[in-house]
Each structure stands twice: as structure tokens, then as C-alpha cells.
Structure 1
Amino acid sequence: MTQPQTATEAQPPSLREEILAYYERGEEDARLRQGAGRLEFWRTQELLRRLLPGAPARVLDIGGGSGVHAEWLAGDGYEVELVDPVPLHLEQAARLPGVSVRPGDARDLPAEDAAYDVVLLLGPLYHLPERADRVRALSEALRAVKPGGLVVAATINRFACLHDGLQLGHYFIPARRARTDVVLVDGRHVPAPEDPLFTTAYFADPAEVPGEFTDAGLVCEGQYGVEGVAWLMGGVEGWLDDPERREAVLAATRRIESEPSLLGVSGHLLTAGRRDLHNRP
């Protein structure tokens, strides 16, 4: 089994300029708190509440952004430390009670060995097109989590760009369709000036993620579709506004969250793994 590396074995990586510029726009926090983005937020929240050990436990939220998840985790009684490479995110998260912040990159964590009960990567793997970088980030999570501790990583699904493009009508624009079709081949999303909706990203095939966990030394325990098929339905935003329909949508999505044939339909996927009790620094 791969042994965790120390954080000083390689030069600290840097965040791509276009990714930094995208998140410095300050739109990510609101995306998850309003509209259809609430489905991703609520489903991620309920999955984490199910998977995480009970509070108090020490949680490292890598690439935690503005603290949209760190906020409720701290409210639930967890000891939360957020690491992010975007200065605006650190400024926003630092205002949250019970959340400590520090700058850092998922591939070179400013974290002690085996210091956390849980390590979350709810964004970093999106923006690492190279497999070696994704495995390096997961290896750093392995290093930081205690033996027996939990690591949960989010990925954007390989087919999300196609599904979203069809829903929004972008796939009928030839230039956008061509870029989307490239993503279906190798997962690499390259932004264009005329298409500013997203930045440099990697869209993962659900089947490849467990192998990256394994190569990092983690024992993969499960995969969960976050939004299921509901995010593709035109009425979902209105459904989420209605408490009764919202609960029905969440329940329906929960029913198919680990159905292998439907994992690629969800916009996002959570993969959970654990550091083996015998894998020690």
C-alpha cells in the first residue's frame, strides 16, 4: 500500500491564474445558497451528516471556498479548519464563527500528519486535469487524516457538461458543442473568452475515481450521486421552494444515489474512502 508522503518532498504548486480569477468573482457562495444550486448544497450536507463521525471531531475542509459547508459543520459542533488558495474565500470564511482558516493548496497541505478525523475535498479535484495531481491531493489527504479516518472527495461527472449544455441550450451552439464533445473524450474542460461560465476543470468518469483513491493509499468505501437526475428537470428550482416537494425530491435522489447505472447522470459525485488503521506515518 502506498505510504503517505511528507508535505516537504516537492515544491509547493501554484493555482492557475484563470482559476483564481474565476473564484475571485465571488459567485460560488451564492451559487449554493439559492436557486437550483440548493439541491447540490442540501444533498452534500445530508450525505456528509450521514458519513461523518459524530461531533466533536476535527475536520479539515480543503478547498472549502467561502465556508459554505464549514459554516454548518461548525454549527453542528465540529472543529473545522478550512484551507483554500483563494484570498477572497479565506476572507469570507474567516468571518464564520468556529471556523479557522489558512491559505494552502490541496497538493501541498499546510497540515500536520494524522491530525484530523475527517478530510474533505469538495472542490480541489475539479481543477486538477492531471491524474498525478489528483492522486497527489488525495495522498496529502491521507497524510493529514488519522488512521481509520474518513476522506470524502467531490468530483464533477464526465457527462455533466453535456447534460447541462443540452438543458441550457448551449449544446446547439457549434463552438460550445465542439468543446463539450472534447470533454466527453478526456474530461478536460478548457475555458474560452466567449464561454465564461466555468474555468479550467476536469470532469471525472465515476469509474476512475476509486482507482485514484486506491493509488493514493485510501480504501474506497462508497460513491454517491449528489443531484441524481433531478438537477436536469426544468421545474426543480420551483420544487425546492416548496417544502413538501423539496423533501420528495431529496428522497427520490436518495433512493438512487449509489445505483451504478445512474452515477454518471448526477452533476456531482461524492466518493468516500478511509485511511487503513495500519497505514501510519
Structure 2
Amino acid sequence: MLRPEVLNYYLRGGERDRLSSGAGRLEFLRTWDVLIRTLPASPAVVLDVGGATGVYAAPLAQAGYEVTVVDPVPEHVAVSRGLPGVRAMVGDARELPAGDASADAVLLLGPLYHLQERSDRLAAWREAGRVVRPGGVVVAATISRFASLFDGFVKGFFGDPAFGPLVERVLAQGRHGNPDEVPRWFTSAYFHRPEELAGEVADAGLVLRRVVSVEGPLWMSPAALDGFLGDPALLLDRLRVVEEEPSLLGASSHLLTVAVRESVGGL
């Protein structure tokens, strides 16, 4: 289900602690902030597709949601199954092991950026639309087309002569690669331009509600983030104000797209 280098990335623990500090912590807090303002009230049934080790499933279950993680990495599923109130199973976002209209909400917080072909991304969107009930919500995460460029400056990756061509390909085609599996760099992925998302949602038969920036440009200022993340209330409050500002979408490392399945007789 996963390309070998993608599976190796996750088996090496590439994402194990990423969301616990710095820009990763900001990503988690902002994603959670958007989710709690977007999901139907608990108790509701949430299918967390690509939910990995349950970093969002665990707090959702604690908040009263009925959560099932679907992930292609068996090791991730084993960890998620050990979380209180969380179900988990191995599965592919393009062919979900769930019935029609069986969930109140579907999360695609991992799959879309590992599907480099548009046809595969549309298959994942359509499957989410199939399993969510009419009127239900789908929340999907994507990586910005410009994330590698900015990340290279923040982390000093341009010191490696192989990194420049990688960024050039991403900017031109959206396809991110890591042919030598350099541990510091992300694995094979697709990085979206913000304006692409509306077309994917429409072609999958869903209705776009909004596209929001997750971190905004603040992820590029790690020193400043350390202070704000100690007491993030002000940070989260201010970022909500500009989360849908079109001119800032490309500067965010991640984007969240909120779509709904049209209900019978209209939305």
C-alpha cells in the first residue's frame, strides 16, 4: 500500500516525536484547534484515516468521540489499538474498510501528501465522501508547495548540494523525493499549491467549506515559537484571525481543507 521508502521512513520513527516540540508542536495545537471548531459534537463517529499512532485519535476518544484509526503501517495500528477508547485497523485511504455513510466525520490528516498521483488523491477523497454520512465533514491535511524551500533555509539543508535539485522539482511539479533516504529530509510526497485543493474536492463530489493555514509563517521562526508555545492561548487566538487569509496560505507548512458531503435535498 505504501511505497517502500515511505514505509521505511515511518518504521525508522520519522514522525514519532515530531509533534511534541517547536514547529511540530504548533502544527499539533493548530490542527487540534481547527478540529474542535469543525467536528460535530461528541459523541460522534470519527474515522481517522492515516491516523498513525493515534496522536489525534487519543484526545478525540478522551473527548467522547467514537474513533477508529485506519493506517497502512501495522506498527502504527498496534500502537493505536493500545490507546483507551480507540479502535484501529490496517487499511488504505483509497479503499477504506468501512461501510457507506458509517461515519459522522472523516480525517485525512496523513494520506493525501503521500499520494503523488492526482488520481490516487481523488480516490482517497471519494472514499472519504463515501463513508461519511450526508452532511458530514471531511478534514484533510496537505503540505504546502513551498515548504521544502523554506524548510531548507530554516534548517540549513541547502548546505547539501543534493537538496537544491529536490526543491526545484517540488516547486515545478509538487513531487518531493528523497532518493538516498537522507534521515533529516522528508520522504516521497506530493506538496500542494493552495489553489489545487478546491478542484480536488469538487472532482471528488464533495463541497468545499474552507482552506486554512495551520502554522502560518510562524513555523519559520523556531526561536520565537519556544516562548509562545509555553502559553499558546494568545498565539492560537491570533492565528485564528488570519487562518483563511489567501495571501498567507502558501507560507504555511501545512494546510487543512474542510469539505462536506452534500446532504439529501441540499446542504
Q: Which has the higher mean CA deviation after the structures are superposed, 94-103 or 25-34?
A: 25-34
1:6-17 paired onto structure 2 within 5 Å = 14-17=1-4
- Is the Cα–Cα contact under 8 Å of residues 19 and 27 in structure 2 kept in the other structure? yes
Structure 1 gaps, min length 5: 1-13
1:45 alignment partner AA:
W
Match of residue 176, structure 1, among 147, 153, 163: 163
Give how far 1:192 is off: 2.5
- Secondary structure of the corresponding residue to residue 36 of structure 1: helix
1:24-43 paired onto structure 2 within 5 Å = 24-43=11-30
**How large is the RMSD of aligned CA atoms in angstroms?**
1.5
Match of residue 260, structure 1, among 237, 242, 246: 246
1:126 corresponding residue in structure 2: 113
| C-alpha separation in 1, matches of 2:211 and 2:181 | 35
Match of residue 269, structure 1, among 249, 252, 255: 255
1:229 corresponding residue in structure 2: 217
Give how far 1:18 is off: 1.0
Structure 1 position 209 matched with structure 2 position 197: yes
- Is the Cα–Cα contact under 8 Å of residues 26 and 229 in structure 2 kept in the other structure? no
| C-alpha separation in 2, matches of 1:155 and 1:149 | 20
Give how far 1:279 is off: 8.8
2:264 corresponding residue in structure 1: 278
Give how far 1:24 is off: 1.0
2:172 corresponding residue in structure 1: 185
| C-alpha separation in 2, matches of 1:272 and 1:235 | 31
| C-alpha separation in 1, matches of 2:54 and 2:181 | 30
Determine what percentage of the aligned residue pairs are the same residue: 52
- Secondary structure of the corresponding residue to residue 185 of structure 1: helix
1:46 corresponding residue in structure 2: 33
1:8-157 paired onto structure 2 within 5 Å = 14-157=1-144
1:225 alignment partner AA:
S
Q: How many residues were matched structurally?
A: 265
Q: Which has the higher mean CA deviation after the structures are superposed, 163-172 or 219-228?
A: 163-172
Match of residue 219, structure 1, among 200, 207, 215: 207
Superimposed CA distance per residue, residues 103-127 of structure 1 (whole angstroms, 9 cap, x where no aligned partner): 1000011110110000000010010
TM-score, length-normalised on structure 1? 0.91
| C-alpha separation in 2, matches of 1:181 and 1:143 | 36
Structure 2 gaps, min length 5: none
| C-alpha separation in 2, matches of 1:63 and 1:53 | 20
